[in-house]
Structure 1
């Protein structure tokens, strides 16, 4: 359910950035599946405990997340306010992730540890997927600069013909960042949730945490410059390349300096 929720938010983000109606429809139906799963789980839980589940913080979180999804689907269907739905479901995802992976709502320590392990697995998987998207975006920007240089120096030849046109290269770089940013954001949310569960004395100024927020900021600035400022061309490609270098610094340098990240345990 959490994975479907994350994919739904990804498609809503694509629609938010690029006004993609197909992505909006996919996001809506994925969110509808999430709502159906939540409703089934809620009904089974009510039958199991014989009361409405709002008496504990964890029951309340689940019901709150269900209400958010219900309202967002209603708003989407009746009022067509897509941006409200997008931001509402970012909040809903955070709530459902806290509920799903918090161990205190189950009596089984084994189950709690399993959920925390699954949370870490999901966090790492989503982080790697976002890094892959950023890497491909970086490659497209490198090729863009090569093509740009060949065209500027009027180096007509076989190499120029084998490279794609500048517009397509820039578009692919942009699309990959649209995919990478929300996946990385969701990974960061899940990673922080895992750290809270496993590391009660979490240090917010840990290099890995700071580096991850810097990565999120620089790529968000890229999308802002592209969408709101209508930036394009060489300057945007250079920004994208610099952003990926920050990803590498965060992954290798800040990761090695971190006091808790997984490769140090």
Structure 2
């Protein structure tokens, strides 16, 4: 009975989230502040429901729920929604909230309507450890930071194109200026890189203790290090070479593609990342 209720609750939350994204899109096109306010309060309500559900599930399972692909997606969605609410409240940058919520909505839909993999839940219960929990949690948080960095870089490219084509108008004004977009993209990359690095260290330590026969050439490990290298190069170009502008934004967007590939594809091909399989 509880499982049915939680499923219906997730479906209801998806509907509310969809309305929120649609209203943000309407505001995106027409600069409608009323639609923006309603969208924000719907988003805030979705965040409350997600948080309560997350706490309830954590109480039910007796652990921090990130040990399966479905739990990971749910936590990733919660991170994106939380960041959206904070950004909307503190920075008042509507377009960033809009694009972030599109990404969050896609992940929520995947989580809600994908088939449940019962075997992975059983495996997750058998392999619980604090080290593993911290590793997965930090990895997902770093993905959240990279997601926001990607959104800022994408908006930078949009703004750059509008300025280059001299498309003056409300959209140009409502998108933050290029300098702010570039700075915020850099800040979230700075947050994400050390989180990912610590997550890899903890994950390798856990694997060394629990899976002594693990192949070190596993595709998921290689993908994670490629991701770390890509964003480290981004930081090097930004700090060491003092590079800026369109080329740096394009590098950031390309690096985020590695995030998606590493999360959804390499995990499926991995021989030991059970929570992706």
Q: Structures share a fold, TM > 0.5?
A: yes
1:132 aligns with 2:140: no
Cα distance in 2 for residues equivalent to 1:147 and 1:126: 32
Q: Contact (CA 8 Å) 1:116, 1:194: kept in 2 or not?
A: no
Residue number in structure 2 paired with 1:142: 154
- Segments of 5+ residues of structure 1 without an aligned counterpart are 1-112
Q: Contact (CA 8 Å) 1:120, 1:194: kept in 2 or not?
A: yes
Structure 1's 192 and 116: CA in aligned 2 closer, same or farther, altered over 3 A? farther
CA RMSD across the alignment: 1.7
Q: 1:223 aligns with which of 220, 232, 235?
A: 235
Residue 115 of structure 1 and its aligned partner are, at CA, apart by: 10
Normalising by structure 1, we get a TM-score of 0.56
Residue 221 of structure 1 and its aligned partner are, at CA, apart by: 0.3
Matched residues, number: 153
Which structure has the bigger radius of gyration? 1
Q: Contact (CA 8 Å) 1:130, 1:181: kept in 2 or not?
A: yes
Q: 1:182 aligns with which of 191, 194, 197?
A: 194
1:212 aligns with 2:241: no
Q: After the TM superposition, which residues 1-265 of structure 1 pair with which residues of structure 2 at under 5 Å, given as runs?
A: 117-264=129-276
Cα distance in 2 for residues equivalent to 1:247 and 1:235: 19
Cα distance in 2 for residues equivalent to 1:198 and 1:170: 41
Residue 116 of structure 1 and its aligned partner are, at CA, apart by: 6.3
- Segments of 5+ residues of structure 2 without an aligned counterpart are 1-124
Cα distance in 1 for residues equivalent to 2:276 and 2:263: 13
- 1:199-230: per-residue Cα shift (whole Å, max 9, x none)? 11010110000000000000000000000101
Residue 262 of structure 1 and its aligned partner are, at CA, apart by: 2.9
